[in-house]
A and B are shown apart, each in its own frame.
Chain A
Amino acid sequence: MPQEKDRPEEIDVQDQTPPDPADTTADRPRRLVVVGAGMVAHRLVEALLQRDTTGAFTVTVLGEEEHPPYDRVGLTSFFAGRDAEQLALGDPALWDDDRVDLVLGSRVTGLDRAARTVTTATGQVHRYDELVLATGSSAFVPPVAGADLPGVFVYRTLDDVARLQRWVRDRAEQHDRPLRGAVVGGGLLGLEAAGALQSMGVHSTVVEFAPRLMAVQVDEAGGHALQRIITRLGIEVRTSTATTAITAGPDGAVAAMTFSDGSSTDVDVVVVAAGIRPRDELARAAGLAVGPRGGLVVDDACRSEDPHVSAVGEVACIRGATLGLVAPGYTMAEILTDRLLGGQATFPGADTSTKLKLLGVDVASFGDAFAATPGALEVVYADPAAGVYKKLVLSDDAEVLLGGILVGDASAYASLRPMVGRRLGVDPAAFLLPEGAAAGPAGLELPDEAVVCSCNNVTAGAVRCAVSEQGACDLAAVKGCTRAGTSCGSCLPSVKKLMTTELEKSGLTVSRALCEHFEQTRAELFEIVRVTRLTTFSEIISRHGRGRGCDICKPVVASVLASLGGGHILAGEQAALQDTNDHVMANLQKDGSYSVVPRIPGGEVTAEGLIAIGEVARDFGLYTKITGGQRIDLFGVRLEQLPAVWRRLVAAGFESGHAYGKSLRTVKSCVGSTWCRYGVQDSVGLAVALELRYRGLRSPHKLKLGVSGCARECAEARGKDVGVIATEQGWNLYVGGNGGATPRHAQLLAADLDNDTLVRTVDRFLMYYVRTADRLQRTAAWLEELDGGLDHVREVVVEDALGIGADLEQAMAAHVDGYADEWAAVLADPEQLRKFTAFVNAPDHVDESLQYVPERGQIRPATPSERTGGAVLIAGAELEVRR
């Protein structure tokens, strides 16, 4: 279990002399102490516990930070709302294992190799048989005057980014204007930091000492392409520029920066991301050899010159260099695990391939990206207008792929990277041209030994084996068997392709059929109905299905027809397709009665409206409750009472709230800038507009929206499928949130939108979801299942990469224009009203099985024992009803 601080019982005072070497073969488990609790330490412990089947080791992990190991690579997603818990790595049950002790908030300050002990800052002593340094790196802060001022941050830990976020929020509130910021360093981390600042509404400048951005990963042309794209995103870039001083304002906080060319700029916040330095101070103090640029020198088994001291990850200097990427760190963790358990694994060399998305821009670099191999040829495709630069490095005979750089579009990365060192066999240009890059040229088959997932070192063969021999038949199962795609996820398209091909080979096809009547998925049915313009279930099932349907496919077809503007949901044959809730436009309760929810857009209701609802509830004897969506639910309505209840509600100006449908429910809002002291935008106004726009929209599952008028987020918008949060500049749009059994926080789709752009983006998002999601799949699950996930959706709805934006908007416009209140329409149609009878042969008879007892001044359904026990019963409400 994670401990907050060193526990006194950890002190091992009895046994401070080095154990007799002969003792190491004794039965007691050997003590492994891991200094550092980062990603590589986590991988080491996970691998060791999994493979140490004889109980050879007990493990103590000493972490300096207060958090259990988390995804440092994904640190920037903190600004999109992923907290420490969501960033945590792996299964938390790992730390419940009796063999492991995770001690947090515990900095190791001393290493005594003779005594085989480490000492923490609080004076705790831990004895080890084997010591692993996994201390990682610290941020390098250049010796610039003022680098220690308040408002200057590094970008390394969760606490760093939390402090940065707090500072920006506080300063923005104090200054009441957009903040200006600067990032020192134009490498990978610097651009991540610039993206984080931009997401918080800070106008920033990236200052890079080298002549180009990301000098380690991309070449000159790639760096310039990247700079062009990033400048276009509104971030200023200054290359070949050194920062000479950071100066404070009157309040002592950072206020300006001066550069080598004598110019200066005003800043409210500075992030220093000028590189990292290995945390090798323990090794140095213990007299162990360190590399020329730091890092504990280790051999290919990850052992230092002291056979009981090893190092993994960024602190290790292996083959003369330290490596600032997680993939080689993971490889070291695997090597060391094998060695600790008596194996002979050796470090195969580092794969320094990188693919990342910075500020929404793809950047990938792999293999011999700089064409250092003698005679290497470069094939380049560049489209400055589209912001794309791609380069492949090939052997001198142009046959073997050596490496490459992709900027602006890295979709070919997943198919290219495993091919490094292999004959391409096809025209390299096929990988570079815009079309077909993602899938790779047809017919390309990866050899079994090609590594598909470099984070976890999973080969194509291992993925095939998971399918053919371990019976994995979906992506989740393949992930579980192989760990492929469980870290950065960039290989998932390749893994999925391998899996599908393998499944097809073994004659297995994964059934995606909706039910026994339709072989199609909901999304496929949607396309069929959209294209063929069929309007009845009979036609659709006779042409594209079999049988007469069921409770699975009928509501799906009804929903598809409704989403495509098929008129009233109860018109003609459609009535027979609807679930009882949609059929009577109310919510079935446990006793067979219904509840009724009038729409209250944005939760805004007049006193007259409240009185009217109250009078209906009183006159019909209904139980009333306020819902989580800021409206009022009226319970205990009998089937035959529904029209009378609605006649009253419609007369009072209410309309259907669609609480019964797989459709838009509510747009929850806080009170916003019209009343709230802190509100920055009119959240109620927007919520009402959105609710009136999307009301009645049928979708694969229910849809909930929320609008908050400031960053305090009182509307809990990030718990909604679509959440809108006000910023000083406009609105941030979040998607994919929900409450319920598996709560999800919505993720940022687009920032600082004006009203029109916001509505257009939500139009596209919702319609894309309606068209492509599975039955009963909420937006969170849809985003997760979709190839490319949120990034793909952003490309489609924000960047219009598929060119369907206008079509989606048009479809939504048709919905908005075609909207009519379902209940008002039914009240005007005597044919429709016929079904609201308790008994077809006794229309005036009341269902006597509906019985109620009083509770807290209202009614509730009688329990079975109350029915038989003759408790005081209320047989429905028989009050005079004003018509």
Chain B
Amino acid sequence: MDEHLATFLRGAYEMEQAPIISFKHVSKVYSNGTVGLKDIDFSIPKGQFLVVVGLSGSGKSTLMRTINRMHEVTEGEVYVENEAVSAYKGRSLRTLRRRIGMIFQNFNLINRSSVEKNVLSGRVSYYPTWKSVMGLFSAEDKQKVVTSLNRVNMAEKIYARADELSGGQQQRVAIARTLMQDPKIILADEPIASLDPLTTKTVMDILKRLNQEDGLTVIVNLHSVELAREYADRIVGLRAGELVYDEPISAVTEADLNKIYQAI
């Protein structure tokens, strides 16, 4: 395809799809002088399945955490639904985070608690603190736990303790917890790095389904180039905190991706 035409079409597509997240010249320098991110500038349209690839330490996790303000940026601004995230504080920051689900490499469930309690904990930001602490959740929300668990095929484990589950099952529970937030965006930080190939497919399929059926914007950090090509709408690559690659899946070639992983 003519390169100019492709660029034009992509531009037109992105204009139609208002960006849900935009990075405007975002940089992050840690207090010890390490550069985490360097002038990141791109937008993510609503409903996209974006995969971020790059070596360990390339800034993938940091980039992801600037979206829900788990990490602060030192320069530039991140916009979520056209609002600058740096403006949020206290209660409003918590409602921002409520709209953004997050999934982790180590699942981060509360091991000694039941699956039900773990999933319910995804709903706490809809309640005042005292109600969360007393466990005064509404009947609808308790039903919502079952619905969420059903979506990840884990309903039969609702009363099991989280640490009795396998890694893949724990990650599915973590996704159910995220669904309790009614998020618009899902951030998944290396969600399959601790899983075997079969459970990897289950988890990635669930994320894809949430993207397609619910229209959630999904951002996944991955190490695996094959998985990135299989699931992504668009792939961006980071190297030493810099955005070095950004293509829609139709334009991605194996050679490009291998370049991202080459040593500097």
A binds B: no
Chain B residues in contact with chain A, CB under 8 A?
Answer: none
Report A's interface with B, CB cutoff 8 A: none
